[in-house]
Amino acid sequence: MATIQQRDELHKTIWSMADELRGAVGGWEFKAYVLGTLFYRFISENLTDYINKLQKDAGVDGFDYAELSDEEAESARQQMVEEKGFFILPSQLFQNVCKTCTDDDNLNMTLSKIFTAIEGSAMGTESEDDMKGLFSDFNVDSTQLGGDVKTRNKLISKVLLKVRDMDLGDDFQENKIDAFGDAYEFLMTMYASNAGKSGGEFFTPQEVSELLARLTAADGHTIRSVYDPACGSGSLLLKFSKTIGKENPALKYYGQEINPTTYNLCRINMFLHNINYDNFDIRLGDTLLNPLHRDFEPFDAIVSNPPYSIPWEGSKNPLLINDDRYAGPGVLAPDSTADLAFTLHMLRSLSESGTAAIVEFPGVLYRGGKEKAIRHWLVENNYIDTIIQLPANLFFGVGIATCIIVLRKGRRPDSSILFIDASKEFVKNGNKNKLTEKNQDHIFAVFSERKEEQYFSRLVPTSEVLDNDSNLSVSSYVEQEDTREVIDIVEVNATLEKLIAEGDVLNKKIAEIIRELGE
């Protein structure tokens, strides 16, 4: 595993590379080229290492797939597509293209053909959907890279060489998996933090992702599948690969995303974290109207940070009220705010022993109308396990204090909801707030032990919540600590009497002076 020092050096290199190259293309747009090149290097080295190891295990010493001719390599195509999900000829490998990229006047065409060939290698196989369009955002002919082919190729070759020279470790199996994944996460954090709201749509901060993963696995139930119906770039799903996934290499990852760019980023992220194509299923589409994973339900864990208060078809679509995901409360989420539509979808997708942890816009906790009716149904049926108020300013492009709703179907018999006020659990990190490991541990300990802590958490009977109009705002149930200075009224009165006495003396002196001046 990459050491802290290696990671720091890697981050410095990435920052330097991005800082030097972003002048040609806007920072957030340019991430497609940096991440695309990183992905190209990863799958090239991943395939090379895999084939070399197979040959070594077969007793062939000194074998290097990158040095084979394309004709010799063709014999491995079928096996590699079946086992890795794709195939790359030696001449098409990242490391070999880099050797001649600065002298290749047709570099843009070379890469275009290679990317088409890599995606095409999976055509007609089980991995076709996983590979299709992965390089679509890497536009080698974009005028943003330069006004002519020569200029564009010069910049592309610079990106290739910069990524080639990144230190991602000497041993692929021990170092590069973590290093590639870490490089991806650092790049996404860096670009998102400088892209405002548009960047924030692509990335959930790592510490929030980690907390959600811990919450869903807290009770120790067996997790065979994890799902995110608004998966973005996959940061929430991938936290399982670093925690639960290490203990369960057969864990399946499912996600759906409506944005084509983020859909591609998520699949790339899966590969960069060395999750094989047959262990993930990421789909493109609108989850609320056309969920594409119904055949794989139910899921043992669900983690999600769906878009906040976006409009959806709702009442405009007469078929939705009969959808088994939304029918329970008898009303649909408002047309203008789809938050609770996502919540109901996830509840329907959850297994009886599973847990869902969802980041939500705080308005869903207290808004009236249809949302109140949906909350009432959720509370009445004992589906709400915990509400956690998060600190403000954790997310890129969003300054509000979000919350986490934890859902369970197989609930405890106590019929209570745990409210946690974690609004002060943060440290300042530049212009953002951050959940430290200590902050996470505090939240997790109270959650997993389901305990009450003055000014921080309280177990509230569902009957009390129902009597309070099904209001789920944490501040309605967890007493706020009074941090105002305690006033000693006796001391104040004594001071006041002293000041009055001193004033009387001063007034007498002033009157005496005025009288003397008048004589």
- Please indicate whether residue 5 or residue 422 has the higher confidence score (pLDDT): 422
Is the pLDDT reported for residue 508 higher than 70?
yes
Is residue 509 a part of any domain in this protein?
no
Last residue within a domain, chosen from 476, 492, 514: 476
Question: Which of 114, 57, 105 minimizes the C-alpha distance to 87?
Answer: 114
Residue 516 lies in a domain: no
Over the stretch 121-170, which tens digit does the pLDDT of each residue have?
Answer: 999 999 999 999 999 989 998 887 888 999 999 989 988 998 898 877 65
Among candidate residues 213, 226, 241, 365, the one with its CA nearest the CA of residue 298? 226
Residues 96 and 175 placed together within one structural domain of the fold: yes
In 413-456 the beta strands, taken as DSSP E runs, fall at 416-421, 427-429, 432-434
Cα distance between residue 329 and residue 209, in whole Å: 29
Q: Count the domains in the chain.
A: 2
Residues of the domain holding 117? 4-194
How confident is the model at residue 176, as a pLDDT?
46
Cα 394 to its chain centre, rounded Å, is 12
Same-domain pairing of 185 and 218: no
pLDDT at 196: 47
Q: Is residue 182 part of a domain?
A: yes
Same domain, 312 and 349: yes
275-295 pLDDT, tens per residue?
899 999 999 999 999 999 999
More confident residue, 145 or 264: 264
Place 20 in a pLDDT band, splitting at 50, 70 and 90: low
Is residue 87 domain-resident? yes
Categorize the per-residue pLDDT at 202 as very low, low, confident or very high, splitting at 50, 70 and 90: very low
Establish if 395 belongs to a structural domain: yes
Shared-domain flag, residues 204 and 190? no
**Per-residue pLDDT band at 261 (split at 50, 70, 90):** confident
More confident residue, 486 or 94: 94
> Has residue 448 been placed in a domain?
yes
Q: Are residues 250 and 106 in the same domain?
A: no
- Global pTM value: 0.85
| Domain shared by 361 and 459, yes or no | yes
Residue 322: which CATH number?
Answer: 3.40.50.150
Domain check: are 187 and 281 in the same one? no
Q: Which of 310, 360, 350, 351 is nearest to 333 (CA)?
A: 310
61 and 189 inside one domain: yes
CATH code for the domain in which residue 106 is found: 1.20.1260.30
φ, ψ for residue 359, nearest 5 deg: -80, 130
Plot region of 393 (φ>0 → left; ψ -120 to 50 → alpha; else → beta): left
**In a domain? residue 496:** no
Residue 387 pairs with which residues in a beta bridge?
A: 405, 419
pLDDT recorded at residue 491: 81
Residues 211 and 107 occupy one common structural domain:
no
Q: Are 104 and 236 found together in one domain?
A: no
Lowest mean pLDDT among 70-74, 413-417, 510-514: 510-514
Q: Domain check: are 127 and 242 in the same one?
A: no
pLDDT value for 15: 75
pLDDT in tens, 387-399: 999 999 887 666 7
The last residue of one of the domains, among 177, 194, 211, is: 194
Please determine, for residue 400, whether its predicted confidence score (pLDDT) is greater than 70. Answer: yes
Q: What is the pLDDT of residue 70?
A: 97
Mean pLDDT across the chain, nearest whole number? Answer: 87
pLDDT tier for residue 510 given thresholds of 50, 70 and 90: confident
Distance of alpha carbon 211 from alpha carbon 436, whole angstroms: 10
Residue 175: band (very low, low, confident or very high) from pLDDT cuts 50, 70, 90: very low
Last residue within a domain, chosen from 144, 170, 194: 194
Q: Say if residue 242 is in the same domain as residue 362.
A: yes
